Amino acid sequence: MTTSGHTEARAIGVSLTCRLAMLIVGLGVIALSLLSYRQLRLQAFHEQSAARLRQTQHDKELWRLRSEISMRITPEQIGVIDVPMETPGDE
């Protein structure tokens, strides 16, 4: 082989090495972005589940308070409570 043949073969080898390195780096970037997207989806799902749990707990507390109110109130007290409410601007 001549000197120019070695130079060309070496240039081709360096070029392929650079391409391979860029391919590996590119695939790594794609993999990291997919993992990041997956983590965001999991976090959103967790937050949604936590919100549903809080809503269920609030609903249970609301029903508990309603049942307590209904146990403590008598029909006579309902007449006392039924007072017309004044709206702002009605004078």
| Distance between CA atoms of residues 41 and 25, nearest Å | 24
How is the chain split into domains, by residue range? 3-71
The Cα 29–Cα 27 span in angstroms is 5
Residue 32 to residues 29, 38, 39, 41, Cα–Cα distance (Å): 5, 10, 10, 14
Q: Which of the two residues, 32 and 76, has the higher pLDDT score?
A: 32
pLDDT at 79 over 80: no
Extract the tokens encoding 44: 């959103």
Tens of pLDDT, residue by residue over 5-35, are 667 767 677 788 899 999 999 999 999 999 9
Q: What is the pTM of this model?
A: 0.54
- Give Cβ neighbours of residue 29 (< 8 Å, ≥ 6 apart): none
Per-residue model confidence as pLDDT tens digits over 24-67: 999 999 999 999 999 999 999 999 999 999 999 999 999 999 99
